């Protein structure tokens, strides 16, 4: 990659970080915060602290994240931390801009659902572009390397404590709505990062690999790669077909494999991102 292309890519990445922070701020200030619904992590702690003290939410998000950013800079790397700092500062700015605007709805369920969706899209964009709004995730990444718990388990422990605190302060109904908003945001983050058009990786072990490969090329318009394999039981040399398809093409692929070799072994797994070497699908008539 040339220096010029690298600069363009970095500028585009920071633009998406900025857009993600705007979207996340809308989810918080227009839907969740006015209805006393919190998110997990540092944002959740900041919402509680802002409610109890009357001080700006954005200020707490910056101050509470700073120790984690310093910790992450030493342990994870400057690119991720600087991207996160930019996203956090942008979020804090837009929270202050949007704060005077009244909430869009007083219906708590609507605020929970739409706030969770919008927040999830914003956070997902930020994570997809190598940033984060939650310093606890940085600590979880580091601790997971030596502890017996995964990153997700450590973050969940933090969030259960935070959401339980919301029950004591805002009432247990708001704590349950907060848990629902957190779950919605969590799922939308996955969708934003992975995309709606999930691609699938197909691996096929067959005695007729070349016939199947030709059919995939002709009828699906998808490229294939041949891998060398060996049967674990028979010790026979095998040719393994690897191809990336969309979920809408799974049924057709199964039909092709069954037609060419009913004894073929087929596995299909999720592919969340494809980079490099991707051919455009040919038009099949």
Q: Report pLDDT for 273.
A: 65
Distance, CA of 16 to CA of 96 (rounded, Å): 20
With b for 16 or more beta-carbon neighbours within 10 A and e for fewer, the 10-32 pattern comes to: eeebbebbbbbbbbbbbbbbbbb
Distance from C-alpha of 126 to C-alpha of 119, rounded to nearest angstrom: 11
Predicted confidence (pLDDT) per residue in 129-176, tens digit: 888 888 877 777 666 666 666 656 677 778 888 888 888 899 899 999
Distance from C-alpha of 252 to C-alpha of 97, rounded to nearest angstrom = 51
Specify whether 240 is located in the same domain as 119. Answer: no
Q: At 252, which CATH number? A: 3.30.70.120
> pLDDT per residue over 92-101, tens digit each?
999 999 999 9
Residue 25 lies in a domain: yes
Residue 72, pLDDT > 80, answer: no
Q: How many domains are there within the chain?
A: 2
> Among residues 194, 221, 244, which one ends one of the domains?
194
Q: How confident is the model at residue 246 (pLDDT cuts 50, 70, 90)?
A: confident
Give one DSSP letter per residue of 98-109, joined into a string.
HTTSPPS---HH
Output the pLDDT for position 284: 45
Domain that holds residue 160: 3-194
pLDDT for 152 equals: 61
Res. 285: pLDDT tops 60: no
- Tell me: do 261 and 205 sit in the same domain: yes
Mean pLDDT, range 66-91, rounded to an integer: 86
How many other C-beta atoms are found inside a 10 Å radius of the C-beta of residue 281? Answer: 13
What is the rounded distance in angstroms from the CA atom of residue 62 to the CA atom of residue 70?
A: 12
Report pLDDT for 150.
Answer: 61
Reported pTM: 0.75
Domain membership of residue 106 (yes or no) is: yes
Confidence at residue 283, expressed as pLDDT on a 0 to 100 scale: 43
Q: 20 CB contacts (<8 Å, ≥6 apart)?
A: 87, 121, 122, 123, 124, 125, 126, 129, 131
Give pLDDT, residue 220.
87
């Amino acid at each position: 990659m040339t220096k010029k292309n690298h600069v363009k890519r970095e500028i585009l990445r920071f633009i998406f970080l900025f857009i993600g922070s705007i979207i996340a701020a809308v989810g918080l200030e227009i839907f969740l915060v006015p209805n006393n619904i919190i998110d997990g992590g540092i944002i959740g702690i900041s919402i509680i602290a802002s409610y109890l003290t009357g001080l700006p939410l954005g200020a707490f998000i910056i101050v509470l994240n700073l120790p984690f950013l310093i910790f992450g800079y030493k342990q994870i790397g400057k690119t991720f931390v600087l991207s996160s700092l930019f996203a956090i500062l942008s979020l804090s700015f837009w929270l202050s801009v949007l704060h005077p605007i009244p909430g869009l709805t007083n219906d708590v369920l609507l605020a929970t659902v739409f706030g969770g969706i919008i927040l999830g899209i914003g956070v997902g964009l930020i994570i997809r572009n190598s940033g984060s709004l939650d310093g606890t995730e940085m600590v979880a990444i580091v601790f997971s390397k030596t502890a017996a718990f995964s990153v997700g388990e450590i973050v969940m422990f933090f969030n259960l404590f935070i959401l339980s605190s919301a029950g004591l302060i805002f009432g247990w109904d708001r704590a349950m709505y907060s848990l629902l908003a957190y779950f919605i945001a969590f799922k939308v983050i996955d969708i934003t990062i992975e995309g709606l058009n999930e691609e699938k990786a197909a691996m096929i072990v067959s005695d007729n690999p070349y016939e199947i490969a030709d059919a995939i090329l002709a009828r699906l318009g998808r490229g294939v790669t041949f891998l060398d394999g060996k049967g674990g039981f028979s010790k026979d040399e095998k040719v393994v077909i690897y191809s990336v398809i969309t979920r809408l093409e799974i049924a057709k692929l199964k039909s092709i494999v069954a037609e060419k070799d009913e004894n073929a072994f087929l596995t299909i797994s999720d592919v969340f991102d494809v980079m490099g070497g991707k051919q455009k699908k040919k038009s099949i008539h």
